[in-house]
Structure 1
């Protein structure tokens, strides 16, 4: 047991620390294929995401797939859209079949759901044997369930498709959808600024924590979702990351980093790998990017994007 816990940490400690700052990051998109958002049809959205990534000369990204979403309000081309991502040079991986919460599901049922998604994914072009936990929920406070999933993934030849940087873009998308449905005027320029700025800040936050906790700069994996906001602004995000000193690399490059061998033992397994490592190292809260606080993010959205409260 001790060898299993400490060997990955020993590997990291023996790695050379780069002589100069080396900010590397890859992009991942969860919940593909999604239904309609605030601005586009699903088909329009996918076409725009592909075009924006190409225009920004972004390398291979990974789209984590929920096969159970196919045919449920995802337009006429859910499967075709996934194939289009692969044809554009990106890859696909497992995000479960039905997107369950592990803390509300037995380990056996959860693994069966993973297997159902694998049955759809395996053998398809662009497939990678990576699994990302929906909601980043790896078992919460239930360590028995957490360990059962770790063992189950290993037995299936799947690796944890962990996240190191995120800014809760799913929440920003939800706010935009709600505003559009309510007929509110949406300042798209301001919305784009929030989307881009928050993600760059989240990446820098993760970089600082990793340097503090493990003493080096691993390749970061950023969590995005297949949203209308990505369709509008992901190209701007890639350019802004580069402007902030980041090199955007492939998903394959990110998941080749030895940090993926680490399995932090913390009171609750839910969130980014960065946060878990910081927690395990005794870094006090908050260990997450500030706009992961949805109340704070909502207030900023209302003020900056909806201009609520102006002139009062």
Structure 2
């Protein structure tokens, strides 16, 4: 694995030098759809707003990693709305099961239960993403899951940019519940700034360890903040030279075929590959709940 990575990095670096430039590109993937009502959005309204936000930002296609356990009639209609808008559907288990807690056999059954529902949607694609990015606590479990997913015809729905956008939204919901006054301009700025910083961090690690900027895959969740501000994030990334691509394009990157020989998989594929290659630097950015809470307080997002 390490030898393969080193050879690939050398070839990639040579190619970048030959062209004199490098395109930075990123795809958007959205987990846990369809999510329930909140204090801010009735769930169907969130879906409509997210579709509108993506269209206004000229994002033609994202991939929704879905949990079929939420697929009552209203939930299924929301996924159909995403499909009608041109977006993709993929498997994120039936019940958002945690492999580290339920074990391989129960986890595989949960995946197959989800497949029975999700595969009926137009625009369904055979990618699978582990809830919590938990791929196994031991080499034996990790390798068995890789083999079983391959038998089932799944490709890895890995991420390269992990985020705690879910905790940002959790803080937002708590502030609403507490009746705090929300400064929505500051909320938008915090969301855009911190997620952009995360994107740049993971790209910096990729450049230092792989010798290039791969086609990145951003992990977000189907929450209120994405519906409100994903368009602002996209526009800011474009201003910084990023190109937004489809997930199917991103998953054609050579790193898609590399299976990192490490158990540090919960921070995404860039960190996993880097760790397998001996990297010992920082592995995350803005992925600490207390740190996020302090930053939102410093920015006075709500009072």
Counterpart of 1:301 in structure 2 is: 296
Counterpart of 1:43 in structure 2 is: 44
**1:62 Cα shift?**
0.3
Asked if residue 80 in structure 1 is aligned to residue 81 in structure 2, the reply is no
Consecutive unaligned residues in structure 1, runs of 5 or more:
none
1:140-160 CA distance string (max 9 Å, x none): x31111111111111111011
Q: Aligned in 2, Cα 1:175/1:307: closer, same or farther, shift over 3 Å?
A: closer
Counterpart of 2:146 in structure 1 is: 150
Helix, strand or coil: the match of 2:270?
helix
Q: Aligned in 2, Cα 1:114/1:25: closer, same or farther, shift over 3 Å?
A: same
Helix, strand or coil: the match of 2:166?
helix
Counterpart of 2:109 in structure 1 is: 112
1:78-133 CA distance string (max 9 Å, x none): 11110111111110100111001111121111111111111112242011100011
1:202 aligned residue (198, 201, 205): 198
Helix, strand or coil: the match of 1:211?
helix
Helix, strand or coil: the match of 1:299?
helix
Asked if residue 163 in structure 1 is aligned to residue 159 in structure 2, the reply is yes
1:1-312 correspondence runs (5 A): 10=7, 13-15=10-12, 16-17=15-16, 19-71=20-72, 77-139=74-136, 141-289=137-285, 291-307=286-302
Tell me the C-alpha RMSD between the 2 structures: 1.8
Q: Indicate the larger mover: 262-271 or 55-64.
A: 262-271
Count, aligned residues: 299
**1:269 Cα shift?**
3.1
Normalized against structure 1, the TM-score is what? Answer: 0.91
Q: Indicate the larger mover: 10-19 or 245-254.
A: 10-19
**1:274 Cα shift?**
1.5
1:192-248 CA distance string (max 9 Å, x none): 111111111111111111111111111000011000101110111110110111000
**1:13 Cα shift?**
4.7
Tell me if the contact between 2:91 and 2:126 (Cα under 8 Å) persists in the aligned partners. yes
**1:9 Cα shift?**
6.2
Q: Indicate the larger mover: 190-199 or 13-22.
A: 13-22
1:46-102 CA distance string (max 9 Å, x none): 00000011011112100000010223xxxx621111011111111010011100111
Helix, strand or coil: the match of 2:135?
strand
Q: Aligned in 2, Cα 1:154/1:301: closer, same or farther, shift over 3 Å?
A: same
